Structure 1
Amino acid sequence: MTQALRQETYLPEPDNPQVAKVYDFLTAHEETGRGTPEVTCFLSGPAAGDRVELPTELYHVLRQVVEALRSGLGVTIRPENATLTTQQAADLLGVSRPTLIRLLDQGVIPYERVNSHRKITLRELLNYRNRRRAEQYAALEATAMDDEDIDAMLTRVRDARAAVGRRRRGHGTD
């Protein structure tokens, strides 16, 4: 596996029974609690005893890929540098570069200065994004009506965010 890292998009095959089978397997294990990070999953090869433990990160990647393909969506794998420019970071967050610069200057997102350029680690940027989302969900929960189930509301918010993201990426409307 000495293949060069590059962006690659995978399109779903209509009604692929193998994707449906993997989806059903993952879903069944999640529903019984066996698909949680505490449980070890394995990737197996053709020979007896030919298997390797699947790290939690890869399990989650696999889960998202299977869900997208099953839903008829294409999946793009794009290797990212561990260090991003301000424009790359702004694009990943979906904000303008000036907004990102303001967040950096306020100390909200850690960064390093290399000569006259600001560099942000991908890990720090993703940590910020996750914190921001958690704060947004907490604010929604605090303002939720008492008679509405929070899980239903969060599902609606996630669906709305996904629809906005698809429109931003030019994948059409819902």
Structure 2
Amino acid sequence: MSTSLPDNFETVAPTPVDAELARQSSKQLAARRLGNRSSIRLRLEDDEEADSVVVPISALKLFQHLLAEMSHGNSVTLVPTHAELTTQQAADLLSVSRPYLVKLLEEGKIPSRLVGRFRRVRFDDLMAYKRQDDELRAKVLDQLAKEAQESGMGY
């Protein structure tokens, strides 16, 4: 099943106050020993009411990662791996231009499908391409550094 993201899928950019609160919350959650349990009950309180909710441990771990990223001031977006992105959304995630992304799609370097006359890219396919590209770049940089060392260039 594919899910299309809305054009304005939400990215949360933490304020300095949010980042500090996320840092404190992240520390508190990290200090908890969760053991082998599969779920945990969380208590939600505000000025008017209190309630509790049972969540899977995997969701709590994801929440901890979210808080850790926010504590460093990083913007966070939650994207299901099966979600389909527009070419602009995919280009933004790779930090490339939309025309360059379209070229990658046309060359078959990233799988895509047509919905009417518009291309859609699965998030997991996009991330697989990014991992592959990052690995290739790292190998090239390692090779260049090795050649620089062998040539006595002082690197």
TM-score (norm 1): 0.53
1:19 is aligned with what amino acid?
R
Task: Give the deviation of 1:79 after TM superposition.
Answer: 5.4
2:99 paired residue number: 98
Partner deviation per Cα, 1:95-141 (whole Å, 9 max, x = no partner): 11221111111110001122322111122112211221122223323
1:171 paired residue number: none
2:49 paired residue number: none
Task: Give the deviation of 1:12 after TM superposition.
Answer: 4.0
Count of equivalent residues: 129
Partner deviation per Cα, 1:52-92 (whole Å, 9 max, x = no partner): 4322x7635522532441x3x15444657911222221122
User: More relative contact order in 1 or in 2 (CA 8 Å, sep 6+)?
Assistant: 2
2:64 paired residue number: 62
1:10 paired residue number: 14
Unaligned runs of 5+ in 2: 1-8, 44-52, 150-155
2:56 is aligned with what amino acid?
E
Q: Distance in 2 between matches of 1:110 and 1:14?
A: 37
Greater mean deviation of Cα atoms: 137-146 or 98-107: 137-146
1:53 paired residue number: 56
Distance 1:100 1:115, change over 3 A: same
Q: Is the 8 A contact 2:69 2:76 kept in 1?
A: no
Greater mean deviation of Cα atoms: 135-144 or 97-106: 135-144
Q: Distance in 2 between matches of 1:136 and 1:91?
A: 19
1:19 maps onto 2:23 in alignment: yes
RMSD: 4.1
1:18-167 matches, within 5 Å, as 19-20=23-24, 22-23=26-27, 26=30, 43-46=40-43, 52-55=55-58, 59-60=61-62, 62-69=64-71, 71=72, 73=73, 75-77=75-77, 82-145=83-146
Distance 1:119 1:52, change over 3 A: closer
Unaligned runs of 5+ in 1: 1-5, 149-174
Distance 1:78 1:60, change over 3 A: closer
Question: What SS does the corresponding residue of 1:108 show, helix, strand or coil?
Answer: coil
